[in-house]
Chains A and B, each alone.
Chain A
Amino acid sequence: MAENTVISAPKEKEEWFGKKERKLLTDPFNDNNPITVQILGVCSALAVTTQVYPSLVMAIAVTFVTAFSNLATSAVRSYIPKEVRMIAQLVIIALLVTIVELFLKAFNYAIWKQLSVFIGLIITNCIVMGRLEAFAMANKPWRSFLDGIGNGLGYGAVLILVAVIREVTGKGSLFAGSPIEWKIIGNTSAYMINTTAEGSWFSWYANNNLMVLPTSALLLVGILIWVQRSYNKKLVDIS
């Protein structure tokens, strides 16, 4: 049946949320992940992932910046003179990052203090600039917006995955610093499993301090890349 059907010319249909749009959102989670495949934004991924809560805030901040800088750049892309293309992109990114920073400082001061320089450094996060150059300059605003959200979330997913492993094994807690902090295992009675309690089965256990240090994030990201490539063979050739 398929052989007889006339395939219409590949004239692109404008869809709000078709297959292509969905792919823009899902691709960055696996085949085109900013951290594990494009190897971008690794610096901040190593630095902020000691705890889940700051990583979550960072992920949201980066998603906001990638999404709206993609949208804005794409919307004005035909007006940007190519001589000052990069400067224009940087101004848009810097504007959004400063907005994020002002907002965080006003409404979540503790996290703003904790993330400190890394919020400002979103400006130099290669993911943002990379998506503007590679996608937003050549695509329509709506698709660029989705691409930005997809890449921000793809980055955030890796960030949170690494942070969950590091916080649980390194500090024995989850979401420390947030209202829903959950203390899982540690050496005081404040933790759910108290390793110093009498007759505790976990008296041999100690939280691994190495996991809090940036080295462990490098190892974890490396292991993630390895695991991903060992089941997703098509990634092996392109890099």
Chain B
Amino acid sequence: MGSSGYILRFTLIMTVITALVLAGMFYVTEPYALRSEAVFNKRAILSAVRSQLGGDKFDELSDQQVLDIFEKQVEQLVVNMQGEVVEGEKAENISLAQEKKKPESNRLLPVFIYNSPDDSKKYYILSIRGNGLWDEIWGNIALESDLNTVAGASFDHKGETPGLGAEIKDNPTFPAAFINKKMYNDKGEFVSIVVRKGGARDPQHEVDAITGSTITSNGVTEMIERGITYYKPYLDKLKKS
């Protein structure tokens, strides 16, 4: 023991065994991981229209129910920055994190259209992404068929402070405050929605910020404004047709 030959043999065998075990484990768990990831992402998208899906009961939906709703009631399409629908792409395969790395004019945007079985209305769910205090934040905004009124929102983050910035996700009253806010003013100009420190002043275009998380709140404001601006060409075309 202790000779370099033995050490080499030992490390080699150890490495090979470890690599084989890990490769095997990865192979076995991968399909389950992919399904879990899909359910998680689809749940986040549907969460923007949670008021249409039973409100508080939304959290009780099983994984299979989420997949079923997504399959039956959600249309997916991908649009480019000029507002044209791109054929042959599925919205669920578009990752905004990846798109952010492309030059702005080449980016693709996912659009999920939720067809409500109750009132046969369409809800347009748009995905947005921006920066919080520590890391990225992202979310989904659902617009009613007038393409102006917000039907709901959901947010998530990578590493905001628990109890402060992380409240955009943890505190259900924050996304709920976006419901019935308007993206456009009465003249039809785009004004977006502002997360206002010290309390909302404009009942149509502002929501209360979370105490102690100014930078995350500003990040949400900026994310919504920029994100919806990207979708504007598509929304404008949709309004005309």
In angstroms, how far is the closest chain B Cβ from the Cβ of A224?
A: 20
Interface centre among A91, A106, A110, A212 (most CB of B within 10 A): A106
Q: Which of B6-14, B76-84, B104-112, B140-148 is the interface stretch?
A: B6-14
Residues of B within 8 A of A84 (CB): 7, 10-11
Chain A residues contacting B173 (CB-CB under 8 Å) are: 188
B39 beta carbon closer than 8 Å to chain A: yes
Distance between Cα atoms of A83 and B7 in the complex (Å): 8
Look across to chain B and name the residue whose beta carbon is closest to the beta carbon of A105.
B33
Which listed residue (A83, A103, A109) contacts B2, Cβ 8 A? Answer: A83
Q: In the bound complex, do residue A106 and residue B15 qualify as a contact, i.e. CB atoms below 8 Å apart?
A: no
Q: Cβ of A88: which chain B residues have Cβ within 8 Å of it?
A: 10-11, 14
B98 contacts chain A at the CB level, 8 A cutoff? no
Q: Of the listed stretches A94-102, A138-146, A148-156, name the one at the interface; the rest are far from the partner chain.
A: A94-102
Interface of A is mostly: helix
Q: How many residues of A contact B (CB 8 A)?
A: 31
Most buried by A among B26, B33, B161, B162: B162
State whether B40 touches A113 (Cβ < 8 A).
yes
Name the residue of chain A whose CB is nearest to the CB of B56. Answer: A190
Establish whether residues B163 and A209, one from each chain, have CB atoms under 8 Å apart when the complex forms. yes
A98 to B22, CA, bound (A): 8
A113, B40: Cα distance in complex, Å = 10
**Number of inter-chain CB pairs below 8 Å:** 72
Which A residues between 78 and 92 are near B, CB-CB below 8 angstroms? 79-84, 87-88, 91
* B73 interface contact, C-beta 8 A: no
How far does the alpha carbon of A87 sit from the alpha carbon of B14 in the complex, in Å?
Answer: 10
Given contacts A83-B7, A113-B40, A209-B212, contact A106 B33 (CB under 8 A): yes
Tell me the nearest residue of chain A to B171, going by C-beta: A171
A-contact 0/1 string along B113-150, CB 8 Å cutoff: 00000000000000000000000000000000000000
Minimum distance in angstroms from A19 CB to a CB of chain B: 34
**B163 touches which of A82, A94, A99, A213 (Cβ 8 Å):** A213
The answer to whether the Cβ of B21 comes within 8 Å of any Cβ in the partner chain is yes
B18 nearest CB neighbor, chain A only: A95
Is A34 located at the chain interface by the 8 A CB criterion? Answer: no
Residue of B nearest to A87 (CB): B11
B36 near A105 with CB under 8 A, answer: yes
Given contacts A190-B56, A212-B162, contact A106 B10 (CB under 8 A): no
Secondary structure type dominating chain B contacts: helix
Contacts A81-B7, A91-B15, A109-B37 known; A50 to B162 CB distance under 8 Å? Answer: yes
Docked pose: A84 CA to B11 CA in angstroms: 8
Q: Chain B 1-34, CB within 8 Å of chain A: the 1/0 string?
A: 1100011001100110010011001100110110
Chain B residues touching A, range = 20 to 34
Residue of A nearest to B36 (CB): A109
When A106-B32, A190-B56 are in contact, do A99 and B25 touch as well, CB less than 8 Å?
A: yes
Q: Smallest CB–CB gap between A48 and chain B, Å?
A: 10
Cβ contacts A153-189/B at 8 Å (1 or 0 each)? 0000000000000000010000000000000000010
Query: Are A109 and B40 closer than 8 Å at their CB atoms?
Result: yes
Query: Which of A91, A98, A107, A213 is within 8 Å of B32, CB to CB?
Result: A107
- B54-74 to A contact mask, C-beta < 8 Å, 1/0: 001000000000000000000
- Inside 8 A of A108's CB, which chain B residues have their CB? 36
* Bound CA span A88–B10, Å: 9
The answer to whether B33 and A81 touch across the interface, beta carbons within 8 angstroms, is no
| Chain A residues with CB under 8 A of B1 | 81
Which residues on the B side are within 8 Å of A103 (C-beta)? 25, 29
Interface residues of A in 101-129 (CB under 8 A from B): 102-103, 105-110, 113, 116
A-contact bits for B149-163, CB 8 A (1 contact / 0 none): 000000000110111
Q: In the assembly, what is the distance between CA of A170 and CA of B164, in Å? A: 12
A99 touches B22 (CB 8 A): yes
Chain A positions within 8 Å of B158 at CB level: 116
- Other than A102-B33, A213-B161, give 9 A-B pairs with Cβ distance below 8 A: A79-B10, A80-B10, A81-B6, A88-B11, A107-B32, A109-B36, A110-B40, A190-B56, A209-B164
9 contacts between A and B (CB under 8 A): A81-B7, A83-B2, A91-B18, A94-B18, A102-B26, A107-B32, A116-B158, A170-B163, A209-B163
User: 10 tightest CB-CB pairs across the interface, nearest first?
Assistant: A212-B163, A106-B32, A109-B36, A106-B29, A106-B33, A102-B29, A50-B162, A105-B33, A81-B7, A109-B40
